[in-house]
Amino acid sequence: MAIYKLSDFDAVLAVSRRGSFRAAALDLGMSTSALSNAIAKLEEQLGVRLFNRTTRSVSLTDAGRKFVDQMSPALRDMHQALDTVRSQQETPTGVLRVNTFATAGREILSPLILEFMRRFPEVRIDLVTEGNLVDIVADGFDFGVRSEPLVPTDMIAIPLGPPRRYAVVGAPAYFESRSLPLHPSDLMAHDCIRTRLPNGAMLRWQFESEGQPVHVDVHGPITLDEASLARLAVLEGVGIGFFMESDVREDIEAGRLVRVLDKWTPPLSPLCLYYPSRRNPPAAFKVFVDLARELARSARGR
């Protein structure tokens, strides 16, 4: 008699959702080969092929589609039952998956993620950073972290800190032979570090004064797509950079970077932890939410 594992069914749903063994393996925290072997073994046990595989794509067969359609509701019920049991745990355990973008990941790592790990060492955290906004439920995440305006309206949201700001900075050596920009339009006479967004578009530097927004398409000698690389280029005097304040705050305070156009970078919306409503969330989920609320109260008190 064949023995089926719940993880195998989760694997089928992950592959059908992502349309890729590689992407599904990343979601599940396993290797692509291990996932492929698990699916192949399940197909052998069932005596039917669930996926059509080519070198370029993966798609459900007719049998696979019927299997997923009929299995999904039952699998949700089983996970709900497991959540109900886990919610009674005295010691939180398990894995929590969090989706955010790189800058936010750096901002929440110490006060939220690492602090949580210190308090609850039995819980493992899978933190995924990506530029594109994803459906955290469909992609198998417990939580998302995004700027407040980007949080879906059907999610519960917890502001994680005070409003954030952009910072425009350059190295002291860069400004030795150049005047400081006093208006965003002055940037057109400067070398700037250009930023490529995840969708391939170039970032337009965003400013505002007295409620009037100003967007600038800067020019410069180098284009990068990662803030840590842009920071290094600015520190080397290559040009002026546009960052979240948190990424360069220590450099400004230490005098390694000079801040300009300060009055043109007003406060932005705060980061929010968000998640769907769950009737009986696991203990690990509940204490993570509790820590986020504690962090929010601390930020309001500052």
- Spacing of C-alpha 204 from chain mean position: 21
Q: CATH for 166-264, among 3.40.50.720, 3.30.565.10, 3.30.870.10, 3.40.190.290?
A: 3.40.190.290
176: left (phi over 0), alpha (psi -120 to 50) or beta: alpha
Question: Is 53 in a helix, a strand, or coil?
Answer: strand
pLDDT in tens, the chain (302 residues): 567 788 888 888 888 888 888 888 877 878 888 888 888 888 888 888 988 887 777 888 988 889 888 888 887 777 777 766 666 666 888 899 999 998 899 999 999 999 999 999 999 999 999 888 889 988 889 999 999 999 999 999 999 988 899 999 999 999 998 999 999 999 999 999 999 988 888 999 999 987 889 999 999 999 999 899 999 999 999 999 999 999 999 999 999 999 999 999 999 989 999 999 887 788 899 999 999 999 888 776 55
Measured from the Cβ of residue 103, the count of other Cβ atoms closer than 10 Å reads 20
CATH topology for 94-162+269-301 is D-Maltodextrin-Binding Protein; domain 2 (3.40.190)
Residue recorded with tokens 């694997």? 11
Cβ–Cβ < 8 Å for 133, 215: no
The span from the CA of 30 to the CA of 13, in Å, is 15
Distance between start and end Cα atoms, the chain: 62
| Architecture label for domain 6-82 | Orthogonal Bundle (1.10)
Please state the domain extents for the chain: 6-82, 94-162+269-301, 166-264
R_g of the chain computed on alpha carbons: 24
Cβ–Cβ < 8 Å for 242, 207: no
Q: What are phi and psi of 127, to 5 degrees?
A: -100, 120
292, 301, 300, 302: which is closest to 112 by C-alpha?
292
- Asked, colleague to colleague, whether 94-162+269-301 and 166-264 share their fold, the answer is yes
Structure tokens at 77: 């019920």
Structure tokens at 205: 């530097």
The span from the CA of 156 to the CA of 153, in Å, is 8
Pairing of strands 166-170, 258-260: antiparallel
Residues 6+ apart with CB under 8 A from 31: 25
